Homo-oligomer: A and B are copies of this chain.
Amino acid sequence: MDVVGATTFAFVTAFGGGTLRDLLLGRTPIFWLMDPWLSITTFAIAIISFYLINRISDKLLLIPDALGLGFFSVLGATFALQMNLSLLVASLMGVVTGMFGGILRDVLCNKIPHVFKSGTELYATCSFIGTWAFIILIVFKVDTSLASWLGTFTVLGLRILAVRYRLTLPLP
């Protein structure tokens, strides 16, 4: 894959979930159209990574990936709650926002999305539980930014535990 491919995948992974969220909620123009610095930053990181870094071990990527999953999940739920959608829908929006970037990246690479394979450690489940933790805190009037951090770190912590202990969902 060349630098255009690599840059595209960085964009897709970073912006895919939020783009779907904004489309589904009708928040247009989409978020990254409004602030060029988001694109500049992603562009710069992608090009630097492509030319300077030979190979990042998958383990090193676990933490930023899980942090992104948590952050995007909480943000997705936040926007849904702001529009007075139901709590269930807000939690789904959190999970969709958290996971869609990675799914889209895998589809463009012509792979079955990693998160759908049996044998993958808990991923959507971490997002789901962390998003619900955030939503419940909001329902109980906990301060929004405190609730956001707690939700994000719940996702991060669960994901690290899932990989560490190879937790998977029960098969039928």
Chain A residues engaging chain B, CB cutoff 8 angstroms:
1-5, 8-9, 19, 23-26, 28-30, 32-34, 36, 39-40, 50-52, 54, 80, 83, 85-89, 92-93, 103, 107-113, 115-120, 123-125, 168-172
Instruction: Give chain B residues whose Cβ lies under 8 Å from the Cβ of A80.
Output: 33
Given contacts A107-B107, A113-B108, A116-B5, is CB(A29)–CB(B26) below 8 Å? Answer: yes
Cα distance A2–B113 when bound, in Å?
Answer: 12
Given contacts A28-B24, A29-B83, A40-B88, is CB(A112)–CB(B113) below 8 Å? Answer: no
CB distance from A37 to the nearest CB of B (A): 9
- CB within 8 A of A24: which of B5, B29, B86? B29
Cα distance A107–B115 when bound, in Å?
Answer: 15
Instruction: Give chain B residues whose Cβ lies under 8 Å from the Cβ of A29.
Output: 24-26, 83, 85
11 sample A-B contacts, Cβ–Cβ < 8 Å, listed by A number:
A2-B116, A2-B168, A3-B172, A4-B124, A4-B169, A5-B115, A5-B117, A25-B29, A26-B28, A52-B172, A103-B108
In the complex, the count of this chain's copies comes to: 3
Q: A8-B116, A23-B24, A26-B30 are in contact. List 5 more A-B contacts (CB 8 A).
A: A2-B120, A25-B30, A39-B88, A107-B108, A108-B116
Contact status A109-B112, CB under 8 Å? yes
